[in-house]
Amino acid sequence: MSTAARTEPARRAEPSLTLVTDRAREAGDGREPAQRHTDESYAGVLGFVRKLADRALEDLDSAIARDPAASSRVEVLLTSPGLHAIWAHRGTHALWSLPGGRLPARVLAQVSRFATGVEIHPGAQLGRRFFIDHGMGVVIGETAEVGDDVMLYHGVTLGGRSLAKVKRHPTVGNRVTIGAGARVLGPVLIGDDVQVGANSVVVKDVPAGAVATGIPAMIRFPKRDAANQWVDPAIYI
């Protein structure tokens, strides 16, 4: 078997939208979260408010899809510190890009950290339907970039290994799951559909579809099915 054949993972199904939609129908209005309104309906001030509401519902439904302990949108709205931290970050990130907004953004980020136990630098870029389960102890650095449909467990660090003012934090692809206590350090690239095992330490790029476990993390391509999309990757250790 060639090297390419060993390292090229088979492209698996993408169950995330299906899972989110099914759970959203149980908890809410039955429409797909990403399709409640067209882009044209977001024009103007009222459109902006509608967009914020749709994004909030999308986040709530995404959390319900990934957390079997969650029973309703109201419960998640009131009790999910990870979601609260993400919403706070969206405000501080918008403030971060404004002239004179960086100091207020950092201060508000510290308030959010105190309230939720999650530290997200205002400069970090987070995708849609991002979910932090439990929340406590998560740290996301300034130059980190996180894709869509990503899930982090508690104690995860997306940290840096350089003191230079450069891109020094990870870039995380879409549909990635990072287990409790894992450390992903430096400007590494975590490909789409990757799972990182609990307490693993990742310091090198991880190709799409792989499972990374251990200290330092070793890369494998085990067989998985769609039902394991949200399972803690600690099962692969």
Longest CA–CA span in the chain (Å) reads: 58
The confidence score (pLDDT) of residue 4 equals: 39
The confidence score (pLDDT) of residue 233 equals: 56
The confidence score (pLDDT) of residue 38 equals: 52
The confidence score (pLDDT) of residue 9 equals: 39
What tokens does 143 get?
Answer: 């130059």
What tokens does 77 get?
Answer: 């709205």
Q: Which element (helix H / strand E) includes 49?
A: helix 44-66
Domains in the chain, CATH or no CATH each: 44-235 (2.160.10.10)
Residue with tokens 């530290």: 119
- Can you tell me the distance from the alpha carbon of 172 to that of 145, in angstroms, rounded to the nearest whole number? 6
The confidence score (pLDDT) of residue 7 equals: 39
Q: 25: alpha, beta or left, given left = phi > 0 and alpha = psi -120 to 50?
A: alpha
What tokens does 90 get?
Answer: 């969206």
Residue 174 to residues 5, 99, 159, 181, 195: CA-CA distances in angstroms?
Answer: 23, 31, 18, 20, 11
Q: Which element (helix H / strand E) includes 18?
A: helix 16-27
Tens digits of pLDDT across the chain (237 residues): 443 333 343 433 334 444 444 554 455 444 444 444 555 566 667 777 788 888 889 999 989 988 888 888 999 999 999 999 999 999 999 999 999 999 999 999 999 999 999 999 999 999 999 999 988 999 999 999 999 999 999 999 999 998 889 999 999 999 999 999 999 999 999 999 999 999 999 999 999 999 999 999 999 887 766 565 545 555 555
Q: Classify residue 49 as exposed, middle or buried by CB count within 10 Å of its CB (0-12, 13-18, 19+).
A: exposed
